Structure 1
Amino acid sequence: MSIVGIFCLTIFGIVSFIGILGNGFILVVNGHQWLQNRKMIPSDFLLTSLSTSRFIMQLGLLINSSLYLIVNIKVPLFLYDVTFFFWIFFNMTSHWCATWLSVFYCMKVTNFANPLFLWLKAKINMLVPRLLGLSIAIFTVSCLPLLVDYFGYIKWCNLTETLPKNASQRKVCGKAPIVFLPIQFSFYVLNLGLSTIAIILLLVSLWRHTRNLKKSGVGVKDLNTQVHIKVMTFLLFWFFFYFVDFIAVIVYAIINSTEGDITTVQGLLIGIWMSAFPSAHSIILILTNPNLKEMCIRLMKEMYAHIISIGHSTS
Structure 2
Amino acid sequence: MFPGLSTIFLILSGVEFLIGILGNVFIGLVLCSECVKNQKTSLFDFILTGLAISRISQLLVFFVESLMMGLDSQVFAIFKLAKPITLLWRISNHLTTWLVTCLSIFYLLKIAHFSHSLFFWLKWRMNRVILAMLAFSLGFLILDILLLETFNDLFWNLINEGNWTLVESKTHYIKSESLLSFSYFIPIVLSLLSLFFLFWSLVKHTRNLQLNFMGSRDFSTKAHKRAMKMVTSFLLLIMVHFLFTQLANWMFHRFLDNKFTKFIMLALYVFPSGHSFMLILGNSQLRQIALKVLRHLKSSLKRQNPLAL
1:151 equivalent in structure 2: 153
Give the TM-score taking structure 1 as reference length: 0.88
**CA shift for structure 1 position 19:** 1.1
Equivalence map 1:81-96=2 (5 Å): 81-96=83-98
Aligned to 1:278: 272
Deviations 1:197-226 (Å, cap 9, x if unpaired)? Answer: 101101110001111111111111111111
Residue 164 in structure 1 maps to residue 161 in structure 2: yes
Contact 1:143 1:183 in 2 (8 A): no
Contact kept, 8 Å, 2:195 with 2:228, in 1: the verdict is: yes
Q: Give 1:181's aligned amino acid.
A: E
Letter in 1 for 2:274: A
Matched residue, 2:289: 295
Residue 239 in structure 1 maps to residue 241 in structure 2: no
Cα gap change, 1:64/1:171 in structure 2, threshold over 3 Å: closer, same or farther?
A: farther
Q: Is the 8 A contact 1:249 1:274 kept in 2?
A: yes
| 5+ residue gaps, structure 1 | 158-162
* Deviates further, 175-184 or 189-198: 175-184
- Which residue pairs with 1:107 in the alignment? 109
Residue 305 of structure 2 aligns with which residue?
311
Do 1:57 and 1:91's aligned partners in 2 also have CA atoms closer than 8 Å?
yes
2:149 and 2:163 mapped to 1: Cα distance? 24
The corresponding residue for 1:201 is 197
1:146, 1:165 → 2: CA distance? 21
Q: How does 1:14-29 map to 2 (within 5 A)?
A: 14-29=15-30
Judged with a 3 Å threshold, the aligned counterparts in structure 2 of structure 1 residues 7 and 146 are, in CA distance, closer, same or farther, namely closer
Please tell me the residue identity of whatever aligns with 2:295.
Answer: K
Task: For residue 127 of structure 1, report the CA deviation from its aligned partner.
Answer: 2.4
Q: Where has structure 1 moved over 6 Å in runs of 4 or more? A: 168-172, 174-177
Verify: 1:53 aligned to 2:47, yes or no: no
Match of 2:141 in 1: 139
C-alpha deviation, 1:182, in angstroms: 2.3
Partner Cα separation in structure 2 for residue 129 and residue 301 of structure 1: 38
CA contact (8 A) 2:209 2:216 kept: yes
The residue number in structure 1 matching 2:67 is 66
Contact 2:10 2:66 (C-alpha < 8 Å) held by counterparts: no
- Indicate whether 1:182 and 2:178 are aligned: yes
Summarize deviations over 1:107-129 as a string: whole Å, max 9, x none. Answer: 10001010010010011023212
CA deviation map 1:121-160 (0-9, x unaligned): 0110232123213212222224314412422344457xxx
- How many angstroms apart in 2 are the aligned matches of 1:5 and 1:98? 33
- Residue 256 of structure 1, aligned match among 252, 255, 259: 252
In structure 2, the partner of 1:210 is 206
**SS of 1:312's equivalent?**
coil
Contact 2:13 2:266 in 1 (8 A): yes
**Structure 2 segments unaligned to the other structure (5+ residues):** none
1:166-216: per-residue Cα shift (whole Å, max 9, x none)?
8569986x9997565224421222111101110110111000111111111
Give yes or no for contact 2:69–2:257 (8 Å, CA) kept in 1: no
CA drift at 1:66:
1.1
CA distance in structure 2 between the partners assigned to 1:183 and 1:18 by the alignment: 33
> Structure 1 residues 239 and 21 mapped into 2: Cα distance closer, same or farther (>3 Å)?
same
Please, what is the CA RMSD of the aligned residues? Answer: 2.6
* Offset from partner CA, 1:213-268 (integer Å, 9 cap, x none): 1111111111111110000011111010011011101211222343xx41253343
Q: Provide closer, same or farther for how the CA distance between residues 124 and 48 of structure 1 changes in structure 2, counting only shifts above 3 A.
A: same
Judged with a 3 Å threshold, the aligned counterparts in structure 2 of structure 1 residues 189 and 166 are, in CA distance, closer, same or farther, namely closer
Deviation at 1:304, TM superposition (A): 0.9
Q: What secondary structure does 1:74 align onto?
A: helix
Distance 1:180 1:56, change over 3 A: farther
Q: Please name the residue that 2:218 is paired with.
A: 222
Distance 1:305 1:105, change over 3 A: same
User: C-alpha offsets along residues 75-133 of structure 1, whole Å, 9 cap, x if unaligned?
Assistant: 51342132111111111100000001111011100010100100100110232123213
The answer to which of 148-157 and 82-91 deviates more is: 148-157
